[in-house]
Amino acid sequence: MSLRSKMLAMSTIPVIVLVFAVTYAVSAQRTASRTNEEVDRTTGVRRELAEIQHDLAIAESSVRGFVLTGHARMREDYSEAVIELRGDLEDLKARVTEPLQRNRLEPLEVLVEERLATLQGVLRIGRDRTPETQDRLETFFLHGQTITNAIRGLTEQMELTASELMTERIAARDAAFARSYLIQVIAMPAAIFVAMTLMAGFTGGIVKRVAKMGENAYRLDKGQPLDRPDTSNDELGSLSRAIVRTGAHLSDLQAELRRHATVDDLTGLANRRGFFALGEHELLVAARTRSSVALLFMDVDGLKRVNDELGHVAGDMLLKEAADVIRETIRASDIAGRLGGDEFCVLLMGDPALDPDRVVDRMRDTLDQHNAREGRTFRVSVSMGIASLPPGRSVTLEELIDAADERMYEDKRAKQQEAQPVWSI
């Protein structure tokens, strides 16, 4: 059943009761009903104006807090306040009907957007304090305060007008109720009570369902698992199920995109992006826990010659086999990646007793086992260099790679002097 059908069904009971009372007080009831709506709308205008000032104050304080402390939570509070602020403006536009108030609404929206632009400017500068950015920051604050004062003045005018209108409408409503009191003392309160009870329950259910959809939308935005959809057969149920289906589809797409963004398709190891993302994080953890770290840099020998003489398919097989050697040698806690071309890296994580040389020896043993297999058309050979990081010391992953790369070239030069063949047909 559609939402419209449900509302019509609930309206049937109060309509049957009201029809008898309307016969005697139709004029007064219309006046009272119309006035009640206008009072509610005017009250809503005042409430939305107060919410706008409140949300704007939160946004301003969050930006100032972020500039002073740099806490990411402050920036999140600002974003949430901006969303609430824009939502309040939309609600205000829906409630304002008086020409004078509508004329004031457009400049209010312009001022709010201009104020948000100054706050966004402050966020772009952030905590990067230089003489030039400090001058710009002060300019944004001064200009923003001027806009805030203008917004406050405009909202106070709108609140004053709303208060005056509400006073007039309340007086009109009281007069209408006074005229129809005797007739409405029994039938009308009962009808209104029934209608309000039904509508409150109905509205409460809708609000709860919409809130659940809003929570799923939030989870969808954050990439979190979604709750079960609404099983109702009305419009909200269909929309809820569509959100959940979309969330599942997007989750699959995001997982696929993350895999392509961080995994090397040829070898199955982490690509450069994925290796650096994991490696930088692990270096920070190692520095905090005072764990030993070592980085093994490897360059596959003879890849160009294999490509030239045996073809690129054989070259790809050489790279895949080099990756297999790495996987068979390292532990699950270590991080391996292909940086590009014929270059591989392994970040070795361990306790203070970590012995990187043993890893190199195991790698060479694994290479020997692969090269001892029958029917091979090329040997797998890698030049290796290793750089160790004492416990507690902090360096960047790029610095660690540079150090290991230099030692790798020492190994490669030594092999070239020995003139060891790395492939055969």
Residues tagged active-site: 342
CB 342 within 8 A of CB 307: no
CB 385 within 8 A of CB 409: yes
Residue 153: partners with Cβ closer than 8 Å, 6 or more residues away? none
The Cα 286–Cα 334 span in angstroms is: 12
Closest alpha carbon to 328 in 398, 393, 400, 380: 380
185 SS3 class: coil
Other beta carbons less than 10 A from residue 319's beta carbon: 22
Length of the chain: 425
Residues in a beta bridge with 350: 292
CB 327 within 8 A of CB 333: no
Burial of 201 (0-12, 13-18, 19+ CB in 10 A): exposed
The Cα 281–Cα 346 span in angstroms is: 14
The Cα 263–Cα 272 span in angstroms is: 8
Scored b (16 or more CB within 10 A) or e, 276-303 reads bbbbeebbeebbeeebbbbbbbbbbbbb
Secondary-structure breakdown of the chain: helix, strand, coil percentages, each rounded to the nearest 5 = 75, 10, 15
